[in-house]
A and B are shown apart, each in its own frame.
Chain A
């Protein structure tokens, strides 16, 4: 009877080793030389990568280090990420303490230039918590600030590939027009929410820029995903505010576990208005495959939730 146990242990051990070897060799085969002449542009997360794709068009291969749906604040790059990063012609990060791990990345890869594309935006500081008065990193949630991002991307791409200056400029112009148009459209849909109902209640305080742009009041469980728990006082405050202002719907983001927000729903009698996209795009078949779709879908969800549709 003991023999059976031993045999099964040995079998498990051997199969682990074998599958390992198999996977290693298969992955090795997959490695192929890149004969592509496009610029390889690596971004720390999907939102920036989408902007790069829009500006760079067919002249760039835009890659995102983090995959759609991944929490980006506390990500840990794998060896493959580092290999991709070291093959890139340029790396874009958001900065403003969003991807602190990017610094570790740059420690490992010192030969690839990196650009922080939030350079020059109008910073909204974090209002409370451990990171109080530090800049809120989620500036792309304001279409107005996103224009700065686009301009920074254009400049950086032009610097790497000056012969494509006109191409990038034209694409950036078209993209910026689209963003401006969306800005007007979003402002309009938010104006349909009765003014007293314009409370944006979320898990992370990631919507400061959006709320500021469109005249909404902000409530959140924690300022930034790094602490990710929400102090008891902060949660109690949110519950009180939701009750006091009879806020019809509250929200949580796609990259966050909504457990605490569900608790707020139970205690305040409000309801979950849906999932908002901020830190990451969705997959291609999801509701927010591009930056513009992310903004549209998120604002739509907010408006529908707060208007009780």
Chain B
């Protein structure tokens, strides 16, 4: 078997093509977001929002509206709750996030146990990369493209917000507005991708690529590029590996991402070690 076959064989199957394309697109937009999230110290927020949408999904099912709408409403609710509890108490933000998302997730579990449904609502969160319908694929790709375009257009504003919101406010741009603007982008991305690629993949994609890129560069534009490339490559390699090894596709993608991070970590340790040695010599 030659290398061309190795690449083209999985592509004969539409489900593989969709899995690769959708997880790459979601991976790219999540990677962009992850750069801002890890710099702002909001990494856990992706995790929190992903879980907090559960009651929204169940209620959406009961009322009969699309899952993403219900999920989105609860994502916003979670964000507002976290924000207001944090400003009115001295409890640290990570604890507040933990309280809010577990409570909302639990509400979701309670609602599920009281809802008669012909589908497994819990599994909406565990979207299945290999079972993406065409409609869902286009929806996710469309939303991701819009979010990515917005992030790239306003990247300088978002960066300043992460770096120095006080300065931003002092020149008359509302830091609070940008705060919620970024949160809404995050909520939209999560609700649009949960159903297709699933919760584990979304959480990992919102943290790992940005962290990997952070280890490798000190330039923000480069960081955006590295994060996106790492994320897309992980999606593609992970999907291929899952095909040939016959293992869970989402699992393979996340695992590969983790391996890349580990590689970047080793590289950065070696680099700083070497730098230290040479600087000692030069003195």
Contacts and interface: CB of A to CB of B under 8 A. Distances in A.
- Are A and B genuine complex partners? yes
Interface of A: 2-3, 5-6, 9-10, 12-13, 16-17, 20, 23-25, 27-29, 31, 74, 76-83, 86, 97, 100-101, 103-105, 107-109, 129-134, 226-227, 231
Nearest to B258: A16
30 contacts: A6-B266, A6-B273, A9-B262, A10-B266, A16-B259, A23-B244, A23-B245, A25-B1, A27-B244, A28-B5, A31-B9, A76-B126, A78-B242, A78-B247, A78-B248, A78-B249, A79-B16, A79-B239, A82-B13, A83-B243, A97-B118, A100-B119, A104-B128, A108-B130, A130-B113, A130-B115, A130-B117, A134-B116, A134-B118, A226-B122
A130 B120 CA distance: 11
B128 A226 contact: no
A6 B269 contact: yes
* Interface SS of B by simple majority: helix
Contact of B6 (A17, A28, A76): A28
Nearest to B135: A107
Contacts of B269: 2, 5-6, 9
Given A28-B1, A77-B130, 20 more contacts: A2-B273, A6-B266, A9-B266, A13-B263, A13-B266, A24-B240, A24-B244, A27-B246, A31-B1, A78-B130, A78-B249, A79-B16, A79-B242, A81-B246, A82-B130, A100-B119, A100-B120, A108-B130, A108-B132, A227-B113
Interface string B76-116: 00000000000000000000000000000000000011111
Contacts, number: 115
A25 B244 CA distance: 8
Which are the 8 A-B pairs with shortest beta-carbon distances? A104-B131, A80-B246, A108-B15, A79-B243, A9-B266, A24-B244, A27-B244, A28-B1
A19 to B, nearest CB: 10
Interface residues of B, number: 47
Contact of B128 (A5, A101, A227): A101
Contact of B114 (A25, A103, A130): A130
A79 B259 contact: no
Interface of B: 1, 5-6, 9-10, 13-16, 18-19, 112-120, 122-123, 126, 128, 130-133, 239-249, 259, 262-263, 265-266, 269-270, 273
A177 to B, nearest CB: 36
B123 A107 contact: no
Contacts of A3: 273
